[in-house]
Structure 1
Amino acid sequence: MSGISLGMTAWAFMTGVAMIKSGMSITEAVAMSLLVFAGSAQLAAIPLIAAGAPLWVVFAAAFCVNLRFVVFSLHLRQYFMFLPRARRLWLGYFTGDVTYVLYTRRFPEPPETDQQRRAQMAYLWGGNCANWSFWQTSSMLGIFLGNALPARWGLEFAGTLALLAVACSLATSRLRALSALIAAVAAVALVALPYRLNIVAAIAVAVAACLFVESRRPLPAGEREDAHAG
């Protein structure tokens, strides 16, 4: 986690500053940081809240930005179905993009024995606690120092760069890189939409395009033989 802490710290700090600069009170900003533990959803919702957008628009933007966590949770389901539902929900709150990626790289297969379950849980909780601590500490610094920082420092741009670095680190395949490129082009092309709905539309376009590409991609030889046999 230490290797990625710098980028996460910059991103979290910028998110804390953005909440205060948008007009939120310190209490509201602290509550949002603790309850909405998802930086991209926070950055998508903050300008909409500040602009007085309808509540459904705020929810739709946050939901679409965080759709990737549905995929993450479906993948992790086979790893943690041995846990009670309440513990799975608690684990889901703490699990972020980076800890998910590191965990699945370290453990490509679900555990089969109690010893493996304990080892995998220890690894994931170690990453989650470090990630949560980095994020909340930097976010709180941004919240409490936000009003003292001059706007000319270009913190918004720094936060964008930090977010871009995290996004690029997750583009580990051609299809993921393609989806990011399509979403970026669509977001720019639709920037005139109100309430930043270009973000929601860009996600929908990227998902639809990648599902189409995935359906047209030829199967490997082994999978083709299985399909013909079926």
Structure 2
Amino acid sequence: MTDLSSTPPQPYVAEHHEPSWREGLKTGTPTLFGIGAWGLVVGIAMVKSGLTVPQALGMTLLVFAGSAQLAALPLIASHSPIWVIFATAFVVNLRFVIFSALLAPHFAHLPWRKRFVLGYVAGDMTVALFLQKYPSEAPQVGKLSYLKGLLYPNWAAWQIGSIAGIFLGSAVPTEWGLGFAGTLAIICVMIPLMVGRPALCGVLVAGVVSVLAAGLPYKLGLLLAVLVGMLTSMAVEEGVEKWRKHHG
């Protein structure tokens, strides 16, 4: 008869499930080149926006959010008020609140310090890949190891690319400037996200609003475009769901 008192609890087993870590690494490996390239673009953008190397290194290590970094850089360069910079970064990163809410039921048993670290290194693609593998919140062996196999290599690829961009930024012709890096970055972010009618509508509306509101002070047109785009996507998604229920 097995002594149940000596059997480690499910979370403990999950944290030390090496095959799951390797499986997570294998699943996430195809995305690492793109993540590194995206980090390279942001690294160049930070240098071209006027940040010093130490400032750029501090930003990439502390913030770890390319879209928010790119949104904040023009504001920093134009000496916008600090509240505008923080508000813009906050709105751009609101999606991570959703990611946290999706992951929370899976790892609520962990100490808050571990959850804090996991939240810091979490990214769009890694969270999506994890939820594709584990759609159910039921405890399973290897969940945490699988997530770590996705998150840590992803974080490393980003930092390597970003730091390389910071130090190689001077090699990019000055006349290309921040606009070149920003254009590449927007393309990298936008294309993978334009999947489905709600996302496409949100992108189109945000683009129109950003053009119409380009004259607002402190580049508040960007903040307004993001908000209106998000609300549009939510409204379209809700409308699509209602249509499916009635015609399903």
Q: TM-score range by the shorter chain?
A: 0.7 to 0.9
Residue 9 of structure 1 contacts residue 134 of structure 1 at CA under 8 Å; is this kept in 2? yes
Residue 41 of structure 2 contacts residue 184 of structure 2 at CA under 8 Å; is this kept in 1? no
Q: For 2:214, what is the secondary structure of its paired residue?
A: coil
Question: Aligned residues: percent identity?
Answer: 43
1:106 counterpart = 2:133? yes
2:171 to 121, 132, 148: 148
Take 2:176 and 2:52, find their aligned partners in 1: how far apart are those partners? 22
Q: 1:4 to 1:156 in 2, by over 3 A?
A: farther
> Which residue pairs with 2:78 in the alignment?
51
1:25 to 49, 52, 63: 52
1:5 counterpart = 2:28? no
> Which residue pairs with 2:7 in the alignment?
none
Q: Give deviations 1:98-138, integer Å, cap 9, x for gaps.
A: 1111111222112324x1xxx22122111111111111111
Give, as a single letter, the amino acid of the residue that structure 1 aligns with 2:164.
Answer: L
2:111 to 68, 84, 87: 84
1:192 to 191, 210, 215: 215
Q: 1:8 to 1:159 in 2, by over 3 A?
A: farther
Q: TM-score, normalised by structure 1?
A: 0.84
Give, as a single letter, the amino acid of the residue that structure 1 aligns with 2:207.
Answer: A
Q: 1:11 to 1:155 in 2, by over 3 A?
A: farther
Give, as a single letter, the amino acid of the residue that structure 1 aligns with 2:143.
Answer: Q
Give, as a single letter, the amino acid of the residue that structure 2 aligns with 1:48.
Answer: L
CA shift, 1:86, in A, is: 1.6
> Which residue pairs with 2:225 in the alignment?
202
Q: For 1:121, what is the secondary structure of its paired residue?
A: helix
Instruction: Out of 200-209 and 173-182, give the one that drifted further.
Output: 173-182
Runs (5+) with no aligned partner, structure 1 = 225-230
Q: Give deviations 1:144-192, integer Å, cap 9, x for gaps.
A: 1212332356774355334423432233332223222222222222222
2:94 to 34, 49, 67: 67
CA shift, 1:21, in A, is: 1.7
Q: CA RMSD in A?
A: 2.3
Q: 1:146 to 1:213 in 2, by over 3 A?
A: closer
- The list of structure 1 runs, each at least 4 consecutive aligned residues, that deviate by more than 6 angstroms after superposition, is none
Q: TM-score, normalised by structure 2?
A: 0.79
1:124 counterpart = 2:147? yes
Instruction: Out of 166-175 and 102-111, give the one that drifted further.
Output: 166-175
Take 1:132 and 1:162, find their aligned partners in 2: how far apart are those partners? 18
Give, as a single letter, the amino acid of the residue that structure 2 aligns with 1:6.
Answer: F
Give the length in aligned residue pairs: 219
Give, as a single letter, the amino acid of the residue that structure 1 aligns with 2:76.
Answer: I
1:136 counterpart = 2:159? yes
Residue 36 of structure 2 contacts residue 159 of structure 2 at CA under 8 Å; is this kept in 1? no
